[in-house]
Structure 1
Amino acid sequence: MNKSVVLVIGMLASGIVQANDWTGNINGFIGHKSLDSDWGKFDSQGEFGIISDFGHQSWPFLIAIDVFVSARGDSKEKKNNGDLHVDGATSEFMIGIRRYFDLNYAISPYVGGGITSGYAYREIKQSDGTYKDENDDGYGPWVGAGVVWRPWKHFNVGFDARYSDFEVELFGKDQNAGGLHMGLNAGFHW
């Protein structure tokens, strides 16, 4: 009986030690997305998201899982047939790898890349109540780089820049709904 208890405690303790060899980050992001000019006024959008990664400390790369949402609304715009209100939005789910370069300071630059699954949406409302919207999704690559500063053991603050590329079709027109994402992030490191 005592040998079994010691064996179980030993197995549990080794699992806890192994769990401590894992590392990762989860950061909130706020920034800006620049889309291609075929988006017209909507080529510049505010953006927020989550940047996360995890992996074993012995791995050369961490697994990256990021989510971003951007949007912009245009208040009333005069057209020949009345006032318009137009909204444009995109969202992206990115998965890939990320490599950190620890500089023996509290600063770590990183690079990463992978695949994005994106969604785009446009909505047009006219003053007479006429309403139309359209959405589409697509897939493509993303690449990025950034830097994080860890002023405390479990706190990150940093800057992230990345480019994504995926095509959608909205109102019969092909558009690139990816773009340049830039912003600040802050969050938790373990």
Structure 2
Amino acid sequence: MEYLQGTAPGVVGQQCAISSTLAWTLFGSYDIMGLTVALDRTEYFISGVFKSKSKTLLYPAQSGFTHAALRGLSPDTPKTDAEQWAAATGAGKITAITYGPQKAWLAQAACALPALIVGLALVVLLLRFICALPGVLHGAALFALALAFAWAVPHFLQTLPGWLIPGRWSDFSFWPTLWTKIMDTCNGNMK
């Protein structure tokens, strides 16, 4: 999390961190380190204010916990980030991970398919039109189309998640396992 003031609360003790929205609602300020907030008849000293639109309070668990929702993980390596978080906090071994952002990306990609089909149809019509042009105009139009394609490819690749792009395009072992990785991500079981 991005902290505007202070730090995260310790694993033990009477410290807490609150979201910027909750800090503004309760105190009308973000500069509230050292103030206390009461939760279930227990007072917690505020150790930090983190940036969030939701009204959230973080405090040490009174007993063991079984689930944790992590936000702000890298979309490229969510499993590694979650395992590092669990190791750093002493939470133990992770038994299940739900890949929400990856499923959302796949759903967005599926929603974009109609636009992609229409775009491809327009490109075919444009190519037919360009082929009908006389000599010099034909070459200039093809050159302009090639420039547009060269400009669009990096922008398209930037929208793809990192796990979908190989480290090296010539890595031929990546391509046969791509479908398996996509299915594993959809099922929530990354290998």
Q: Establish whether TM, by shorter chain, passes 0.5.
A: no
Higher helix share: 2
TM-score by length of 2: 0.21
TM-score by length of 1: 0.21
Higher strand share: 1
If you compute each CA radius of gyration, which structure gives the higher value, 1 or 2?
Answer: 2
